[in-house]
Amino acid sequence: MDYRDEVYFNSQPENEAPFTAEEFADRLTRLRRRMADAKIDMLYLMAPESMYYLSGYQNEWYQAQSPKQWPAASAIAVHVDHDHYILFDSEREAVLGRIFTRSVDTRYFPRNALRGSADFVAQELKREGWLNGTVGMEFWSYRPNRVISHQLEDAFVSAGARVVDGTHLLREQRWVKSPAEIACLKEAARIANIGMAAARETIGAGVSELDVYGEMVRAMARAGGENPGITMPVLSGTKTNALHGMSTRRKMQHGELVLVDLAGVFKRYHINMARTFSIGEPSAEVRELTSRIAHSMDLIRSILRPNLPVRDFNSTVMDYFQKEGLWERRGWVGGYEMGIAFPPDWVGNFVYDPLSDINADRVFEPGTAVNYENQFFMPAHQGQYFTIDSFLFEESAAHMLSEQPFELIVIE
């Protein structure tokens, strides 16, 4: 054994698994029940969120755009009849796995095989008897890429399995959070509020977008926050008409709107919030419009409750903006699930929108969390007024998680 192997396989760093063994065991048990109901015998998971949810696995590098020689490798196989998963990984991540997971069965790709070898995976799973039935893969995940996904599917089929899309199983399970996950969401909200307060203190004429970005990231990191799944935009002036723009060295000007969209992150659980600022007192028209839009949040606060039907929420919001004559100014009104996320996204699986019937017949049940976005265009192409809050639904109450006011915030 060379010294590299000595380190990889004998180094014993402090374990930093984000949850207890009991929490992870419960998640696995519930997933196996879902698999049985769906008649899926084995699930092969490569989405970072899926691997984290079941094991705590987290990595800075997931081989999303890597050279052909370094394809995506790490994965978790779950069988409906077994109370442990198999973690596949490169030996280079052996120490990482012992830091972040509680895996009791990790298999490393051999050095004489391509990292991420589908043949090795199929060989190991066939030996265990895990490829005798229906195998689910995450067809809706970006990871692995098309080539590796096809290689794995072909290898599973050649070994005698039937392959189907199993993306929905774990995504649907993650919709309702456990008490441990709810605690993470509340801590993420605390961190997000610290970040927004830091942005508010930094914004001003002559300050660059990146200055504000840096200060809010530093404040959240000091509060225990982690790297979010999306690069958080700080946008100024007419640039706020492009909500997914990137912060740059552009300096803010007096009289401009400034948009800050961020997420607090704790144990990879995200809580999203956004606010719009004005450097100096805005025009009377902008002030009047933004005040009417902000008032919608008071209405929402009055109807929030556990098990609120999504359709009722959507119709309440849409009716308000139509009666106020604001509906035609909207960019988008709606929201999506908050929870586990890794780059390049923090948008969860559950989406709701007043103009869509998707999820409209469901309810915001206890244990769920979503964000809600108001996007409205201001006169003369000045930019957008943009606010986001996140809602957490528990057994006895529903909570708005932000502390900053919803009205346009004026920076003198």
379-393: pLDDT as tens digits: 999 999 999 999 999
According to DSSP, the residues that pair with 271 across neighbouring strands are 264
Lowest mean pLDDT among 58-62, 63-67, 188-192, 376-380: 63-67
Residue that finishes a domain, picked among 173, 188, 217:
173
Q: Are residues 101 and 165 in the same domain?
A: yes
Same domain, 145 and 241: no
Query: Are 290 and 406 part of one and the same domain?
Result: yes
Give the span between the Cα atoms of 260 and 388, in whole angstroms. Answer: 10
pLDDT of residue 5: 83
Among 155, 173, 191, which residue terminates a domain? 173
Residue 258: name the closest of 209, 305, 224 by CA. 209
Residues 292, 335 within the same domain: yes
Cβ atoms 220, 195 nearer than 8 A: yes
**Final residue belonging to a domain, choices 144, 173, 202:** 173
The whole domain housing 110 covers: 3-173
How many domains, in total, are found in the chain?
2
Judged by DSSP in three states, 208 sits in: strand
Residues 128 and 269 occupy one common structural domain: no
pLDDT tens-digit readout, 114-171? 778 999 999 999 999 999 999 999 999 999 999 999 999 999 999 999 999 999 999 9
Do 323 and 260 share a domain, yes or no?
yes
Q: Judge if 122 and 197 occupy the same domain.
A: no
How many Cα atoms are found within 13 Å in the side-chain-facing hemisphere of 312?
13
Q: What is the pLDDT of residue 38?
A: 98
Average pLDDT, the chain: 96
CATH number of the CATH domain containing 129: 3.40.350.10
At 221 the three-state DSSP class reads helix
CATH assignment at residue 308 = 3.90.230.10
Claim to verify: residue 265 and residue 151 sit in the same structural domain: no
pLDDT grade for 44, boundaries at 50, 70 and 90: very high
State if pTM tops 0.85.
yes
C-alpha span between 383 and 235 (Å, rounded): 10
Instruction: Give the model's confidence band at 6: pLDDT under 50 very low, under 70 low, under 90 confident, else very high.
Output: confident
Residues 156 and 205 in one domain: no
Alpha-carbon separation of residue 389 from 26, 142, 273, 365 (angstroms): 30, 28, 5, 18
